Amino acid sequence: MNALAKVLRWPASDADRLRSALWTASEIAAATGGTAYGEFQVSGVEMDSRDVRSGDLFVALRGEAMDGHAFVQKAFANGAVAALVDRPVDGPHVLVSDTSSALEMLAAAARKRVQARIVGVTGSVGKTGVKEAIFASLERCSRGAAHRSIRSYNNHVGVPLSLSRMPPRSRFGVFEMGMNHAGEITRLTAQVRPHVAVITTIAPAHIENLGSMEAIADAKAEIFAGLEPGGTAVIPADSPWFAQLRDAAVARGACILSFGKAEGADMRLLDALPLASGGSLVTAALTTRAGTQRLCYTVAEPGEHWVANSLCVMAAVYAAGGDLGAAGLALASMGGLKGRGARLRVPVPGGHALLVDESYNANPASMRATLGQLGQTPATRRIAVLGAMKELGDFAPGFHAALAEPLLAANVDFAVLVGEEMTALARELGKGLANPLGKPLHFAHCADAGEAISALEEYGLAGGDAVLVKGSNSVGLARVVAHFGAREG
């Protein structure tokens, strides 16, 4: 029997008999308590009129600066078949008293109607990449019947929007949850109601708002509050806050599935060999009540942090009832995400330079990890464009100054420091520090992304260079990537 015949004879499920439309007018009205004007079916849900596609429901949300009702007609022009509004409009719509509340009610209806296994993902570092890898794994083993939150839709708007988009045929759903303050994940996990709750790691992101690492761990552990009965908590065994996370999960009646290098980790790293392609060949052991099995798989993404991420992915896929073979294939074929590890080949004098786009986010842990990977990247010269790390409060000067050590350890030739917070690092590097080979690190301190572009142009990229661009999103280093990445070839 050939491969096509096997696919055609794939066993049917109850979900296969469901209709393919996402929502009908009557279903939206029933879910939101609104009134439908017109008969329609929608294939998607969108809140930004610029992103509307043909067949979408446009949700007119009120924001602090913008009111989505002002863009309803633009949404219709872009292909929306209906709108969710709090005032009558020209065109098919569902009228509700409050569109934000209505979106949450639509999300609740979407969550209630599916029989899918739901995975919730949070953590200080790596949650978007891990979420994407879990999704890719589950999509492979479900004939495309997996759903996930796109990009970093992980807040009080992004989570209900992502849930409302979940097709009734879904067999798996993977949702990212983020926070800036205590209590925020509690609200999000109550909407997601995961069967598997994943914490990637605990690191000093948002420490300005939370005050301590223990408080950050507590805030992340809020994800366990929404676990379905009999659910599983996937937590990092190597974390200093492992016991704190474990106890919080146990208090919610969760099963524990730990991952990491630590002795006793349920998904334990045995070995990781670097590959010429930049990735890793990983050997791990999964220990459950049924016994221990050994896994061997390839991770395409470079870096030790992705070895750890892969253990987390494998644990989550196992807990969700997915296929570990499919997970191995997904990890072997994943590429970096825009702003989160995408690798661009930029033509420059003398050949090509490698540009690593990590411009979307930065905190002390992720900075160290990516600088470590830069140090392992074969290159004629290594260049780091580092933007300020936000939401560190009074801890900011110390954390920024501490980046001198991983910069020097990575044998960086030239560093471009962007933002006022980088003054502490500039002061540290100005002491004439040298790398392990005795070579001083040259640097420029710039006010913004525009100055950073000028500094790089003046320095002059050449064939064989490896350039890391990383910083908090608000610093705007995506401009640097766009400027040089436009030459990609």
Find the mean pLDDT for residues 75-87: 97
Q: What is the pLDDT of residue 7?
A: 45
The C-alpha atoms of residue 105 and residue 97 are separated, in whole angstroms, by 12
Question: Is the CB of residue 123 less than 8 Å from the CB of residue 198?
Answer: yes
pLDDT band at 206 (very low <50, low <70, confident <90, very high): confident
The C-alpha atoms of residue 252 and residue 266 are separated, in whole angstroms, by 20
Find the mean pLDDT for residues 40-44: 97
Question: Is the CB of residue 470 less than 8 Å from the CB of residue 403?
Answer: no
Q: Report the CATH architecture of 21-97.
A: 3-Layer(aba) Sandwich (3.40)
> Rounded mean pLDDT of the chain?
93
pLDDT surpassing 70 at residue 3: no
Structure letter (DSSP) for residue 52:
-
Q: Among 369, 457, 469, 367, which Cα is nearest to 418's?
A: 469
Domain 114-333, CATH: 3.40.1190.10
| Residue 294 β-bridge partners | 285
The C-alpha atoms of residue 380 and residue 69 are separated, in whole angstroms, by 54
Sort 261 into a burial class: Cβ within 10 Å, 0-12 / 13-18 / 19+. Answer: middle
Look at the block and give the residue holding tokens 């602090």: 64
pLDDT band at 112 (very low <50, low <70, confident <90, very high): very high
Q: Among 380, 448, 368, 446, which Cα is nearest to 408's?
A: 368
Give percent of the chain with pLDDT exceeding 90.
81
Find the mean pLDDT for residues 431-453: 89
Q: pTM for this structure? A: 0.85
pLDDT band at 16 (very low <50, low <70, confident <90, very high): low
The C-alpha atoms of residue 3 and residue 124 are separated, in whole angstroms, by 42
Q: Hey, where are the domains in the chain?
A: 21-97, 114-333, 342-485
The C-alpha atoms of residue 387 and residue 473 are separated, in whole angstroms, by 9
The C-alpha atoms of residue 28 and residue 108 are separated, in whole angstroms, by 11
- Phi, psi dihedral angles at 382 (to 5 degrees): -115, 130
Q: What is the pLDDT of residue 25?
A: 97
Q: Report the CATH architecture of 342-485.
A: Alpha-Beta Complex (3.90)
The C-alpha atoms of residue 148 and residue 85 are separated, in whole angstroms, by 25
